[in-house]
Chains A and B, each alone.
Chain A
């Protein structure tokens, strides 16, 4: 069964706009929620991660918002740039074991 649901499947944003990707999880035991960025032909690279003891984490233009009661978390990319065009995966794990990934969101930032 899919333990992490991600939406939208694809997203087109104008340069300078805000990209928002959402994820929902089912297992309340999950305690680690990373986001990965993947460019074509490359492996996923860790972008930013959050644990459930905080509701928001910001690193540069990237922010994770976390809603524990709703079992949802989202990635916000501020001032989106064409170089941000990639596939983004949310994930969730318990104790960093066997991380479960969302299906991915293909982001295109138009110049």
Chain B
């Protein structure tokens, strides 16, 4: 049973481009969480999704950011028109239910140049 898989591991985008970050949860996990980590800082909650539903997006900026977790396929975090301040590590975690431990992926390190 593979762990939480995130890709790409590293992503470089120019200002104004779009960034798409993918997260495949562990097998059997239907709950996905996205976090952002700035250098030397903690993890900031962004969004919590279950299959086809956004449960809590209170930590996600209202503009340029969106997330989805379709019935089939990975969860996608999309950042449109990226700016330098979006440069960070983005981590995805998954759990089998809302009452279970969450397991993290290795993260995607986004660099905006």
Contact = CB atoms under 8 A, between A and B. Distances in A.
Contacts of A97: 48, 55-56, 98
Contact of A44 (B41, B55, B104): B104
A96 B45 contact: no
B71 to A, nearest CB: 21
B101 A46 contact: yes
- Which label, helix, strand, loop or mixed, suits the secondary structure of the A interface? strand
Contacts of A6: 42
B42 A43 contact: no
Interface string A72-107: 000000000000000001000001111111111000
A47 to B, nearest CB: 11
B33 A98 contact: yes
A44 B91 contact: yes
Interface size grouping (class) on chain B: 20 to 34
A74 B101 CA distance: 19
Nearest to B92: A43
A42 interface: yes
Interface in B44-73: 44-45, 48, 55-56, 58-59
Interface residues of A, number: 21
A98 B31 CA distance: 10
Nearest to B41: A103
Interface string B69-101: 000000000000000000000010101011111
B19 to A, nearest CB: 18
A43 B45 contact: no
11 contacts: A44-B104, A95-B98, A95-B99, A96-B95, A96-B102, A98-B45, A99-B102, A100-B45, A101-B43, A101-B45, A103-B42
Closest 3 CB pairs of A and B: A43-B104, A103-B42, A101-B43
Given A99-B33, A101-B35, 5 more contacts: A96-B98, A97-B48, A98-B55, A98-B58, A101-B42
